[in-house]
C-alpha cells in the first residue's frame, strides 16, 4: 500500500498516518511543541536536508497541522505555529515518549521514577525559556506557566485524590515513584507564605481533570493553584517524563523555578524526597531573588 492510499482508508489510524506517518514529521511536531517556529530553528534542531525539511513543513501546513505567520516581508520569512488541529496531536507525542522510555530505554516495567535518560533530558531545560503554555485550573479558570510579575515554582506531579470523592487508580501504590503527591502538595501549602514572601507563586500541575484537582484542593485546603495538563501541552513543551497508570498518562515528579521572563533558573529531577525538595526549592528561590536584586 502506498502512503498516499492510507489517507483514503476507512480507519482513523490509517488516515492519521497519511498525514503524520513519517518520523521526520513527528520530530518537527516535537520541536514545534517545544517552541521552535522558524525554518533555521528546525534545521539546527533536526539536521534534515533543507529540501526534506521544506517539504515536511509544507505538507504540515497543507493539512492544517501548522500555520504560517509572516515575520518578514523582505525577504519573505515565516514562523510555523501549531494550529488547534496540530495541538490536538500533542497527546500522541506524549504517548510515543512514554512508550519509548518504558520499552526501549527501560526494561518494560511501569515506573513513576525518572530514568537516567529522562533526567538528562530534563536538565537540558536549565537556562531555556519554554513556551508559555496556558492550562485549565482547578477553580474553573486558566493560568499561564509564566508570570511576568513574579517568579514561579511549578511542580509537576503524578496525581493526588480526595478520598471522599475520587479514588486512586488500581495498583497506584505499587508503581515506583507514584506515591508522595499528597505529602508534596501539603508541604508546598505549609511553605506557601514563605515562598510568596520570597517573591514566587506556587503552581502544581498534573494530568488529572480539573474537577479532580478541585476536589483535592478543597480536601487539602491548598492556598495555591492546581492546573491540569490533561491535553499534554506542558508535557510536550518541556518534554517532561511520563508514565501510564490507570488508563492515563501521568507526569513524573519534576519541579522547575522560572524567573519572570519565563527562563528556567533551577530544576529538580529526580525527586526522591517530595517534602525535602520543597525546602530545597525555597532556599534556592531566596538565593536567586537576592542575586537578582
Final residue of a domain: which of 33, 52, 87? 87
- The reply to whether 72 and 212 lie within a common domain is no
Terminal CA-to-CA distance of the chain, rounded, Å?
63
List pLDDT tens digits, range 125-170: 999 999 999 999 999 999 999 999 999 999 999 999 998 777 788 8
- The reply to whether 145 and 204 lie within a common domain is yes
- The reply to whether 152 and 73 lie within a common domain is no
Q: Which pLDDT score, from 0 to 100, does residue 8 have?
A: 63
- Domain with 18, as residue range(s), is 3-87
Q: Which pLDDT score, from 0 to 100, does residue 293 have?
A: 66
Which helix (H) or strand (E) covers residue 242, if one does?
A: strand 242-245
List pLDDT tens digits, range 50-83: 999 999 999 999 999 999 999 888 898 999 999 9
Q: Which pLDDT score, from 0 to 100, does residue 3 have?
A: 54
HSE (side-chain half, CA atoms, 13 Å) at 215: 13
List Cβ neighbours of 269 (8 Å cut-off, separation of 6 or more): 114, 118, 119, 122, 123, 241, 252, 253, 254, 255
List pLDDT tens digits, range 222-253: 999 999 999 999 999 999 999 998 888 999 99
CA distance to 48, 70, 125, 190, 282, per residue, from 199 (Å): 43, 37, 22, 16, 10
What domain count does the chain have?
2
- The reply to whether 165 and 77 lie within a common domain is no
- The reply to whether 135 and 186 lie within a common domain is yes
Q: Which pLDDT score, from 0 to 100, does residue 163 have?
A: 87
List pLDDT tens digits, range 164-209: 777 788 888 889 999 999 999 999 999 999 999 999 999 999 999 9
Q: Which pLDDT score, from 0 to 100, does residue 1 have?
A: 43
CATH (domain of 143):
3.40.30.10
Q: What does the pLDDT average to over 16-35? A: 92
Sign (positive/negative) of CA torsion 174, 176, 180, 181?
A: negative
- The reply to whether 196 and 230 lie within a common domain is yes
Q: Which pLDDT score, from 0 to 100, does residue 4 have?
A: 52
- The reply to whether 195 and 126 lie within a common domain is yes
Final residue of a domain: which of 87, 118, 136? 87
- The reply to whether 68 and 27 lie within a common domain is yes
Residue 251 in contact with residue 157, Cβ under 8 Å? yes
3-class DSSP assignment, residue 127:
coil
- The reply to whether 9 and 97 lie within a common domain is no
pTM of the entire predicted model: 0.87
Final residue of a domain: which of 38, 69, 87? 87
Sign (positive/negative) of CA torsion 104, 106, 108, 110?
A: negative
pLDDT of 6 > 80? The answer is: no
Q: Which pLDDT score, from 0 to 100, does residue 12 have?
A: 87
Amino acid at each position: 500500500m502506498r502512503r498516499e492510499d492510507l489517507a483514503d482508508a476507512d480507519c482513523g489510524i490509517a488516515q492519521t498516518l497519511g498525514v503524520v506517518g513519517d518520523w521526520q514529521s513527528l520530530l518537527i511536531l516535537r520541536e514545534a511543541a517545544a517552541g521552535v517556529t522558524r525554518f533555521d530553528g528546525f534545521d539546527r534542531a533536526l539536521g534534515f536536508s533543507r529540501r526534506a525539511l521544506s517539504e515536511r513543513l509544507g505538507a504540515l501546513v497543507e493539512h492544517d497541522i501548522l500555520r504560517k505567520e509572516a515575520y518578514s516581508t523582505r525577504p519573505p520569512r515565516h514562523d510555523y505555529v501549531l494550529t488547534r488541529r496540530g495541538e490536538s496531536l500533542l497527546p500522541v507525542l506524549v504517548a510515543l515518549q512514554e512508550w519509548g522510555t518504558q520499552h526501549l530505554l527501560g526494561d518494560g516495567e511501569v515506573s513513576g521514577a525518572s530514568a537516567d535518560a529522562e533526567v538528562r533530558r530534563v536538565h537540558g531545560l536549565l537556562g531555556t525559556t519554554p513556551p508559555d503554555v496556558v492550562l485549565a485550573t482547578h477553580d474553573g479558570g486558566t493560568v499561564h506557566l509564566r508570570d511576568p510579575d513574579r517568579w514561579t515554582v511549578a511542580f509537576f506531579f503524578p496525581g493526588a485524590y480526595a478520598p471522599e470523592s475520587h479514588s486512586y487508580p488500581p495498583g497506584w501504590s505499587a508503581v515506583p515513584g507514584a506515591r508522595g503527591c499528597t505529602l508534596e502538595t501539603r508541604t508546598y501549602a505549609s511553605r506557601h507564605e514563605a515562598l510568596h514572601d520570597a517573591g514566587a507563586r506556587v503552581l502544581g500541575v498534573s494530568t488529572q481533570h480539573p474537577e479532580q484537582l478541585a476536589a483535592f484542593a478543597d480536601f487539602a485546603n491548598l492556598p495555591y493553584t492546581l492546573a491540569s495538563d490533561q491535553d499534554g501541552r506542558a508535557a510536550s513543551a518541556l518534554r517532561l517524563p511520563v508514565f501510564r497508570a490507570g488508563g492515563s498518562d501521568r507526569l513524573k515528579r519534576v519541579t522547575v523555578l522560572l524567573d519572570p521572563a519565563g527562563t528556567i533558573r533551577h530544576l529538580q529531577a529526580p525527586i526522591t524526597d517530595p517534602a525535602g525538595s520543597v525546602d530545597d526549592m525555597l532556599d534556592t528561590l531566596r538565593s536567586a531573588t537576592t542575586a537578582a536584586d
